[in-house]
Each structure stands twice: as structure tokens, then as C-alpha cells.
A = this chain, B = another copy of it.
Amino acid sequence: MSKLLIVGTVAFDAIETPFGKTDKILGGAATYISLSASNFGIESGIVSVVGGDFPQEYLDMLNDRNIDTTGIEIIKDGKTFFWSGKYHNDMNSRDTLITELNVLEHFNPVVPENFKDAEIVMLGNLHPGVQMSVINQMTSKPKLIVLDTMDFWMNIALEDLKAVIKKIDIITINDEEARQLSGEYSLVNAAKKIHEMGPKYVVIKKGEHGALLFSEGNMFYAPALPLAEVFDPTGAGDTFAGGFTGYLAKTGNISFENMKNAVIYGSNLASFCVEKFGTERMVNLTQQEIKNRLEQFKKLTQFDIELS
């Protein structure tokens, strides 16, 4: 079992989908990552920042799941990061309606002492400078650093992003972002280019089309579970990252073969996340449900061809 350090936003979201809309609800990359990873019975901790308006009950809920929140700084007279977005009918694209950075604007991450030796570090989507600061605070070299990012940082902080990409082991990124970062259309070539930028492993997330894991000469494809209804895609990518790193933390095995399993668990958990608004499904999820869904993933992908 490895300790998992998670860095990312803890936020309020207001979401509108064709199925309805929410008021301000709990959101943020670190929230989704940690909830997802908590299904593996590991020790994890969040580094983040919230305002005085952030309810204690949310922190309690995370603590109840063995998620250490001492690294979530509370700025009493500040307001929590707020994002509001509206999904289009196809659920594959969305418009951001409101982004209030609030306390995130001057976020200076501080890694708690007891997580400076975490074996696995999950850097959620944030300014690459913040991600780098966390890496620099680690007192012992992590076994694995996983980074998530997005096109926004490529557009406004590409050099900072490249500097942190050099330091990490795995990048998770969506297909369009992989193309933008690499300048290659083919995902095989994009992964190769990104690999040359530093990370030994590249995970390309393709939303409803699943996720691809690349390393030198190896490729693995985990489909997304085809669903009758995607209720709210918010947090699916972070939930994937949480399942991925949570499983690796639990098993402590970072071989390519085991990383395949981690990708499957990431897809497994993400398939739950989208079934309800926000974190609703993730906070009401049982081990048995995850197990059953794993069986569905096996049925969906496994075949047995006898070569004659």
C-alpha cells in the first residue's frame, strides 16, 4: 500500500445539463480524485485551498473516507473557487458560464509533513507552477507522479507546463489536448512526442470512447462503458484519475500490466460518476457495485480466440 497525495481544486460547481440544473454543489478536481481513490481503502491527503464559506460537513465527509484534509488551507475571509457550466445536448461539449477563482488566485500549496514522503502524487488540473511547487516540496522522490492538465494551461503557461511535464512519470490528457500539445494528429504519434517531453506513460482520455495507455512500445485500450444515459459528465476525468492512482496506491505495483488494471478501474469509477449530478453518485457507491461493474467491463472487452 502506498500513500497518495492529491493536489487540485476543492470547489463549488453549478451545473446545467439537458436533465436539469444544480445550485452550488461540491466540486473540484481534488474532490473527485480523492472520492474515487478512497474506494481502494488507501491513505490519501489533499492539498488545496477553500474559503470561509466552505461547509465543514464537506470536510467531514472526506475525512470519513480516510481522506486527510489538513492540507486544505481555509482562508476565512476568502471565497471558495466557483465554476459554473452548461453542457450541450450531446454532453461532449460545454460552455463555461462563470469562473470565480477567488481563493485559488493566490494559491500557495503547502504539503503537510506526513505527506511529503507520499509514494504516489496525483497533480490535478491546476496552474503548472502550483504543480511544480508540490513536486519541489516532496522530501523523498515519489515512486510515481501523475499529472493532469488541460488546453487552458497550454495556451497561457506552456513553458511552465513543459517544465513540470519533464518531472513527471504519467500524464493524463484528453485527445484534443494531446494533439495540441504534440502537434500530431495521430494519437500514436502524439503519445510518442509527449513521451519525449518526459513522461514514461501517457494516458489519453477520449471521453465516451474510452482511454488509451501508452508506454514505450506498449499500448492498452480501456473503453468507456456505453451508457444509456450520461446525466452529468462533470468530474469524470478526475474520477478516472482517482481510480487509476487509487488502484496503483493500493497495489503498489507500477508495472505496465498492473497499469492496465488501473486504467480499467479508472474507467469503472468514471462510469459511475456520470450517472448523477456532481459527486452524488460517488458518495453513494458500494464495493459490490464496483465489483459488478468490473464484471461488466470484462464482458465488454474480453474475448477468447483459439488460433488454429
Contacts and interface: CB of A to CB of B under 8 A. Distances in A.
A132 B264 CA distance: 43
A163 interface: no
B209 A226 contact: no
B188 A227 contact: yes
A186 interface: yes
Interface in A289-308: 291, 294, 298-305, 307
Given A186-B227, A228-B186, A228-B189, A221 B300 contact: yes
Contacts of A301: 220-221, 301-303
A58 interface: no
Q: Give the secondary structure class of A's interface.
A: mixed
A284 interface: no
Q: Interface residues of A toward B: which range? A: 35 or more
Given A261-B303, A303-B261, A210 B228 contact: no
A206 interface: yes
Nearest to A302: B302
Interface string A213-239: 000001111010011111000000000
A270 to B, nearest CB: 15
A264 B209 contact: no
Given A189-B228, A302-B303, 11 more contacts: A89-B185, A187-B226, A188-B227, A218-B299, A220-B300, A221-B226, A221-B301, A260-B303, A294-B305, A301-B301, A301-B302
